[in-house]
Amino acid sequence: MGERTVIPFGPQHPVLPEPIHLDLVLEDETVVEAIPQIGYIHRGLEKLVEKKDFKQYVFVAERICGICSFIHSLGYCLSVEKVMGIEVPERATFLRTMWSELSRIHSHVLWMGLVADGYGFESLFMHSWRLREQILDLFEETTGGRVIFSACEVGGVRKDVTVEQLQKIKSTMISFEKELQEITNVFLNDASIKSRTKGVGVLTKQMAYDLGAVGPTLRASGVASDLRSTGYAAYGKLNFEPIIETDGDCYARTAVRIRETFQSIDLVKQCVDMMPEGDVRVDVKGNPDGESFIRLEQPRGEVLYYTKANGSKFLERYRVRTPTFANLAPLLEMLKGCDLADVPVIVLSIDPCISCTER
Amino acid sequence: MSILSMTKTLMKSVFHGPYTLLYPIKKKEVFEHTKGSIEIEVADCIHCGLCQRNCPTGAIQVDRNSANWSIDRLDCIQCYYCVESCPKKCLKMGNQYSAPAVKKVRDEFTNARVSGN
Amino acid sequence: MEQQTLRMISPEDLLSETLNLKNSGYRFVAISCTKVGEGLEISYSFEKNQDFVSLRIVVEDNAEIESVSCFYVPAFLYENEIKELFGIKVKNILLDYNDNFYKIAKKTPFNEKKEAL
């Protein structure tokens, strides 16, 4: 029976990308228990609905997080449109889907770079982020911003895309896919990466379901649950299947995200081919009254939006439940029984985004 | 299991040269829609105040009596909601971002035809 | 599209209804809380195979409710959050932070008590 020590991990740590604090209870280099502590960047964004009217709040909603910014603004617009019963033109739904999938590609490639940095593989980190620049240039050309686009509004999208820009998106996707093959080959086949991720942080299928895991964390344990199958925005017309792996360790989670990136490249090409003609926005008159629950699929998992409105131009309540909040409980389970040196790899494998979690 | 999987990428980057631009000697090209800073044609402005009411951060101040229109450059979040709400279409989103500053910068524009006469 | 149902239940039935859903294999999604009139409305959301069920209870400001973290472990995070932001008392949470979850300066900011004049 070894001695127990408590080591604090975070919120500032050279290998940790997010300000989360974990108190690790160790017995001779093996983690026995972990107690989380968050609250370092709580900004109280949900309380701003009392001050900004429902058309201005979309700019606050997209600034909840930098990486998942477009999908937060899409979720806000879908919730208010569901409460008010607005029907958005078809071209707008396809543009929103295309931008969501490009956001997913950029988020997964960013995560691949961070996890490579977590192992100490700096050159792989730099190459992943070099590829990501091509996606950010596409965003700047079509919407005007690289990270925060301000492209979605209640009633449609604010900017239209020309035929030349659509052709450029398609040709960029084809060349991006070839370059991405070389980088992901390193992630999946390199001996040093395999020795650090295989068998580390195992989450069985029953535990993942009981503890409320979402997103790639759930899909890497064998549960086929992907919110895009419910068919919101234009996903009902696109052709795809949820990607699952069965091992439940860090290697499986990496493989799920890499395969999802290639699937998203294919979905973007499908969107460009099927883009219908027409308007991109409708006028919105009146105030929202009612409530709604909307669930979307962010790159990190399932996100839930609850909106309640009472007829005035200010919403009464807007609640966001982000995927990292739901993945914190499985994280504590995964950390039991691992070595101290594996802790950064496991924390990075759930793709934490604490800025979304605490709003 | 391979240990030399990164070799192809590393060899390509040795012969390619740097992927980054030598800023400030070579600047990055901007696109047509790139968000920079708000510009106004103050001669067309009727000082109705719609842009001030719609601005999410309160960066725009409009004074009808002195025919003044001002914007706080560091409060502006480049959302261009004011550009869409102006009835006279005298606001535009320019491509060049406002320079970083040490203190708050307020740019003022006065309509010389209406005031002073 | 998915199925969404909302059921109103009384606070005493909360634990038995949650146990029924857990035995039928429903997955825990979230707990949401809103201020309504002088009381609070709390919605517990569950999901199974694209069937989305929400249980809703309406309680007074200083009522006490039981925690569901005995059945669903991740509920402890949500219950600490609504305890700190809305001021409702929750008994027997698996890991109770005692109002130190978000470490905010103001007490219960979403449920501000008006001072009697």
User: Strands, DSSP E only, in chain B?
Assistant: 38-40, 60-63, 68-72, 91-93, 106-110
DSSP assignment of A40-77? TT---GGGGGGTS-TTTHHHHHTTS-STTHHHHHHHHH
pLDDT of residue C1: 53
Task: Report all structural domains of chain C as residue ranges with CATH numbers, in order of start.
Answer: 3-91 (3.30.460.80)
Sheet holding A21-27, edge to edge: A4-9, A21-27, A30-37
- Provide the percentage of residues in chain A whose pLDDT is more than 70: 99
Contact C77 A209 (CB under 8 A): no
B71-94 core/surface letters (b: 16 or more CB in 10 A; e: else): bbbeebbbbbbbbebbeeebbebe
Residues placed in the known binding site of A for Fe cation: 68, 356
Domain total in chain A? 1
The pLDDT of residue C115 is above 70 = no
- Provide the percentage of residues in chain A whose pLDDT is more than 90: 7
Chains in contact with C, counting 3 or more C-beta pairs less than 8 Å apart as contact = A
CB contacts of C78 in chain A (<8 Å) are 325
User: Strands, DSSP E only, in chain C?
Assistant: 3-8, 27-36, 39-48, 51-59, 64-66, 89-91
The pLDDT of residue A328 is above 80 = yes
Collect all residues from A whose CB is shorter than 8 A from any CB in C.
35, 38-39, 42, 44, 46-47, 209-212, 229-232, 293, 295, 302, 304, 306, 308, 316-317, 319, 321, 325-326, 328-329, 358
Mean pLDDT over all residues of chain B? 81
Contact A293 C4 (CB under 8 A): yes
**Is chain A in touch with chain B: ≥3 Cβ pairs within 8 A?**
yes
CA distances from A312 to A87, A281, A320, B76, C14 (A): 21, 23, 21, 26, 33
Q: Measured in whole angstroms, how far is the alpha carbon of residue B25 from the centre of its chain?
A: 22
So where are chain B's domains? 30-110
What is the ipTM metric for this complex? 0.85
- Provide the percentage of residues in chain C whose pLDDT is more than 90: 0
- The whole-number average pLDDT for the span C86-96 is 80
Closest by Cβ to A293, choosing from C54, C74, C109? C54
Cβ-Cβ contacts under 8 Å for A84 (sequence gap 6 or more): A154, A284, A286, A288, A289, A290
What CA–CA distance (Å, rounded) separates A303 from A226? 11
The pLDDT of residue B112 is above 50 = yes
CB contacts of C30 in chain A (<8 Å) are 304, 321, 326
- The whole-number average pLDDT for the span A142-154 is 87
**Is chain B in touch with chain C: ≥3 Cβ pairs within 8 A?**
no
C110 interfaces chain A, CB cutoff of 8 Å: yes
CB atoms within 10 A of CB A136: 15
pLDDT of residue B115: 47
pLDDT tens-digit profile of A9-22?
878 888 888 888 88
Find tokens 């068998």 and name the residue.
A199
What CA–CA distance (Å, rounded) separates C84 from A338? 32
Q: What is the pTM of this model?
A: 0.90
CATH number for the domain spanning A167: value is: 1.10.645.10
- By DSSP bridging, strand B106-110 and strand C3-8 are unpaired
pLDDT of residue C116: 44
Q: Which helix (H) or strand (E) holds A234?
A: none
DSSP structure class, residue B63: E
Amino acid, res. B98:
S
Residues placed in the known binding site of A: 46, 65, 68, 320, 353, 356
| B117 band by pLDDT with thresholds 50, 70 and 90 | very low
Interface test with C, best of A304, A315, A328 (most C CBs within 10 A): A304
Mean pLDDT over all residues of chain C? 80
| C117 band by pLDDT with thresholds 50, 70 and 90 | very low
- The whole-number average pLDDT for the span C44-61 is 85
SS3 B22: coil
Amino acid, res. B46:
I
pLDDT tens-digit profile of A47-82?
888 888 888 888 988 888 888 889 999 999 999 988
Reference C113, options C48, C62, C56, C74; nearest CA is C62
pLDDT tens-digit profile of A204-230?
888 888 888 888 888 888 888 888 888
CB pairs under 8 A between A and B: 56
C8 interfaces chain A, CB cutoff of 8 Å: no
Q: Are A4 and A321 in contact (CB under 8 A)?
A: no
**Residue A8 covered by a domain:** no
Q: What domain range includes position A267? A: 47-203+220-284+343-350
The answer to whether the Cα torsion of A101, A107, A112, A113 is positive or negative is: positive
pLDDT tens-digit profile of B9-46?
888 888 887 888 888 888 878 888 888 888 888 888 88
By CB atoms closer than 10 A (0-12, 13-18, 19+), residue B7 is exposed
pLDDT of residue A108: 92
User: Which range is least confidently modeled, A175-179, A181-185, A217-221, C95-99?
Assistant: C95-99
Closest by Cβ to B31, choosing from A55, A140, A191? A140
pLDDT tens-digit profile of A91-137?
888 999 999 999 999 999 999 999 888 888 888 898 889 889 889 98
**Residue A24 covered by a domain:** no
Q: Taking every pair of C-alpha atoms in chain B, what is the biggest distance, in angstroms? A: 82
State the nearest Cα–Cα gap between A156 and chain C, in angstroms: 20
- Of A258-262, B61-65, B113-117, the range with the highest mean pLDDT is A258-262
For residues B97, B98, B99 and B101, what is the CA-based torsion angle, rounded to 10 degrees? -140
Closest by Cβ to C27, choosing from A39, A209, A328? A209
The answer to whether the Cα torsion of A159, A164, A170, A172 is positive or negative is: negative
Q: Which CATH code is given to the segment(s) B30-110?
A: 3.30.70.3270
Mean pLDDT over all residues of chain A? 87
Contact A191 B31 (CB under 8 A): no
**Residue A311 covered by a domain:** no
pLDDT tens-digit profile of A290-313?
888 888 889 998 888 988 888 888
Q: Measured in whole angstroms, how far is the alpha carbon of residue A64 from the centre of its chain?
A: 12
Q: What angle do CA A160, A76, A81 make, to 5 degrees?
A: 75
The answer to whether the Cα torsion of A326, C17, C56, C111 is positive or negative is: negative
pLDDT tens-digit profile of C6-20?
888 888 888 888 888
**Residue A338 covered by a domain:** no
Q: Are C100 and C76 in contact (CB under 8 A)?
A: no
Contact A190 B6 (CB under 8 A): yes
What CA–CA distance (Å, rounded) separates A185 from A188? 5
Find tokens 């740097």 and name the residue.
B18
A228-251 core/surface letters (b: 16 or more CB in 10 A; e: else): bbbebbbbeebebebbbbebbbbb
DSSP assignment of A273-295? HTPPPS-SB----S--EEEEEEE
Gyration radius of chain B over CA positions: 22
pLDDT tens-digit profile of A236-249?
888 888 888 888 88
pLDDT of residue B48: 84
State the nearest Cα–Cα gap between A76 and chain B, in angstroms: 16
